[in-house]
Amino acid sequence: MAVNSVNSVNRGDRSASALVEVPRGLAGVVVAETGIGDVRGREGFYHYRQYSAVELAETRGFEDVWHLLVHGELPDPARLAAFTAETAALRRLPAEVAAALPAVAAASAPSGPLAGLRTALSLLGAARGFRPVYDIGTDRRRADTLTACAAVPTLLTALHRLGHGLEPVEPREDLSYAANYLYMLTGEEPDRERARAVERYLISTIDHGFNASTFTARVVASTGADVAACLVAAVGALSGPLHGGAPSRALDTLDAIGTPDRADAWIRERVLAGERMMGFGHPVYRTEDPRSRMLREIALGFGGPRVDFAVDVERRVEAILAELKPGRELHTNVEFYAGVVMELCGLPREMFTPTFAAARVVGWSANILEQAEDSKIIRPVARYVGPPPQVPVPVAG
C-alpha cells in the first residue's frame, strides 16, 4: 500500500509540473465515452443513441424519446403506454414540497423560476428519499431520475404562477408531457398545433453532447451524489447567459431592431463593434444548426409578421457578415427561432430557459445514469500560475 501511495504522489507531481496543453474551455478534448448521443458539428448533425434527433422530433413524441434515453430503445405501443402512465403518475409533488413552494417563489422572484428550481429540486430529492447514486443500484437510480424529470415541469410552472400571484395548476395524467406543461403554465388545455410545436422543441433540446450543464451533472454524479444534487448543479450551469439564457435575448435583438428598415444599420453597427449577436453562432456547429432549421420550419408554419421579420433579420445578418467579415460564417443557433416559436405558442419570455430545462433534465438524467456506472471520480488538475511558494515570515511577539 505504501508503494502504491508513493507512486500515486509521484504521478501527481509529474502531471502537475508538466501538464499537457489543452484548449481554453476544454474545446475538443475527449473526457469520457458515451452511448447517449453525439454532435457532429462539421456535418450539422446530432443524434440520440442511433437516431437523428431532428428526425425523432419530427416523427415521435416526447415520451418515446425519453424512453429511448432511459432504456436504450424506442418503445413499441405497449411499452410506450406503460412508460407514459408510469411517468405521468409521478408529476404530482409531495405535500411538503408543494407547501414550501410559495416561499421559494417569493424568495426567487427577482431571478425567476429557474433560480427557484434549484431549491425546489433539493426539497424534492429530500422528500422522495433520494440517496447517493454510489449507494444504490441501477433500478433505484433510474426510478429517481424518472421522479425528478416528471416533477420538473410541475415545479417550474408552479413557481412561475406563484410568482405572478396565481395558484398552481395541478398536473393531468391524461395529457402528454408537452401538453401538460402548457396546461399547467396557462391553466388552459393547449390546442394540438401549439402542443406539438412545443413538443418538437422539447425533443430537439433533450441532449446535445457534453455541453456545460451536462458535463457539470456528470462531474457531480462521479462523486456518487444523489440525483437531485446532480440536477441542481446542472441547473446552475444552465442558468448562465452563455449557455441556456439566450432564447429571450434573441427576441430582444428583434425588439431592438424594431422594423425591417432599421435592420441593416443596427446589424452593421454591432458587427463592426465586434459585439456578440445573440441567437447567432455556436461553439460546435460550423454549418447551420439543425435545430434552428427545424424550428424555422415550425415558425413558418405559424406564419405572421413576427416570423417574416425574424427570417429577414437572419438573412441580413448572414449577408452583412459575408460583406464585412468574409470567411466568417455565422448562422442562427437553436435559441433564435426557439424564442420565436415559444412566443407564438404563448410562453412568456421568463419561461424560455425554464422550458429548455424541462427538456434537458431528461438528457442530464441519462448522463447521470451513465456516469454512475463508472466508479472513477472526475478529478482534473490545473496549472498553477501564481507566486512561487515561499516560507511564511513568522509574526514577531
Domain spans of the chain?
48-240+348-372, 247-344
pLDDT in the model for residue 282: 64
Q: Report the candidate in 136, 163, 159 with the shortest Cα–Cα distance to residue 228.
A: 136
Q: Is 47 annotated in the active site? A: no
The domain defined by 48-240+348-372 carries CATH number 3.30.1600.10: no
pLDDT of residue 288: 75
Rounded average pLDDT over 46-62: 96
CA 241 to each of CA 182, 236, 238: distance values in angstroms, whole numbers, following the listed order: 24, 11, 8
Q: Reply yes or no on whether 189 is catalytic.
A: no
> Which of 239-243, 361-365, 377-381 comes out lowest in average pLDDT?
239-243
CATH homologous superfamily of 247-344 equals Cytochrome P450-Terp, domain 2 (1.10.230.10)
* pLDDT digits 0-9 by tens, 231-284: 999 999 999 877 866 567 778 889 999 999 999 999 899 888 888 777 776 667
- Give the pLDDT of residue 387: 94
The percent of residues in the chain predicted with pLDDT above 90, rounded, is 69
The predicted pLDDT at position 14 comes to 45
Catalytic one of 63, 314, 335, 343: 335
Q: Note the pLDDT of residue 19.
A: 64
Residue 35 confidence (pLDDT) above 50: yes
Q: What's this model's pTM, rounded to 2 decimal places?
A: 0.89
Q: Tell me the three state secondary structure of residue 253.
A: helix
CB 324 within 8 A of CB 275: no
pLDDT of 310-347, one tens digit each? Answer: 999 988 888 888 888 787 777 777 778 888 999 999 99
- pLDDT recorded at residue 274: 82
What's the pLDDT score for residue 12?
45
Question: How far apart, in whole angstroms, are the C-alpha atoms of residue 372 and residue 87?
Answer: 22
The pLDDT tens digits for 76-91 are 999 999 999 999 999 9
163-220 residue pLDDT tens: 999 999 999 999 999 999 999 999 999 999 999 999 999 999 999 999 999 999 999 9
Is it true that 48-240+348-372 and 247-344 share their CATH fold? no
CA–CA distance from 262 to each of 104, 279, 343, 375 (Å)? Answer: 42, 18, 22, 56
Active-site residue, from 67, 160, 208, 282: 282
What is the C-alpha separation between 81 and 75, in angstroms, rounded? Answer: 9
- In a 13 Å sphere around the CA of 183, the CA atoms on its Cβ side amount to 16
Instruction: Please compute the mean of the pLDDT values over residues 30-46 and round it to a whole number.
Output: 88
